[in-house]
């Protein structure tokens, strides 16, 4: 496996950009008006929802199954607040349904 110079340069450039933006976020300490403090409080909620919802249906034609198991997993997360249990129940149910030939 040979590594060409321009590819190595692209790697290093991507490292610099990614690391720089993460560092800037952590180092920055700026006074913010209350509106933007409240704004920041909603960033994780909004972004997580944006990451979750479009990823639920998948591309294998199992949308209904996956919506159903996601709701079940959300219920487990709400009652237990345990991450691994949520993933286990959600994925386990998904596989059990699949095992019994459900494909919807």
Partner 1 sequence: MVSAYFLTDEAYGIVMASNERSFAFLLGCELSLFVSWNVFTLVGALAGSIIADPAKLGVDFIFPLSFTALIVPLLKSKTDVIVAGISGVLALVFSKILPGGFSIFATGVIGSLLGAWLTRSEPPTEPNLEDNTREVA
Per CB under 8 A, residues contacting partner 1 are 19, 22-23, 25-32, 34-56, 58-60, 62, 66, 69-70, 73-74, 77-78, 81-83, 86-87, 90-91, 94-95, 98
Least Å distance, CB 6 to partner 1, is: 24
Least Å distance, CB 66 to partner 1, is: 6
CB 87 within 8 A of CB 74: no
Which is nearer to partner 1, 5 or 51 (by Cβ)?
51
Q: What is the DSSP string of 74-89?
A: HHHHHHH--HHHHHHH
Length reported for the chain = 104
Residue 40: exposed, middle, or buried by beta-carbon count in 10 A (0-12, 13-18, 19+)?
A: exposed
Least Å distance, CB 56 to partner 1, is: 5
């Amino acid at each position: 496996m040979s590594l060409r110079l321009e590819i190595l340069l692209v790697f290093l450039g991507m490292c610099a950009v990614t690391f720089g933006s993460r560092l800037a976020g952590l180092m920055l300490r700026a006074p913010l008006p209350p509106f933007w403090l409240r704004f920041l409080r909603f960033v994780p909620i909004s972004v997580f929802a944006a990451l979750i919802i479009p990823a639920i249906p998948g591309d294998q034609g199992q949308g209904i199954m996956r919506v159903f198991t996601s709701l079940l997993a959300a219920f487990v997360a709400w009652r237990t607040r345990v991450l691994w249990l949520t993933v286990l129940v959600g994925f386990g149910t998904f596989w059990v349904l699949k095992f019994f030939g459900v494909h919807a």
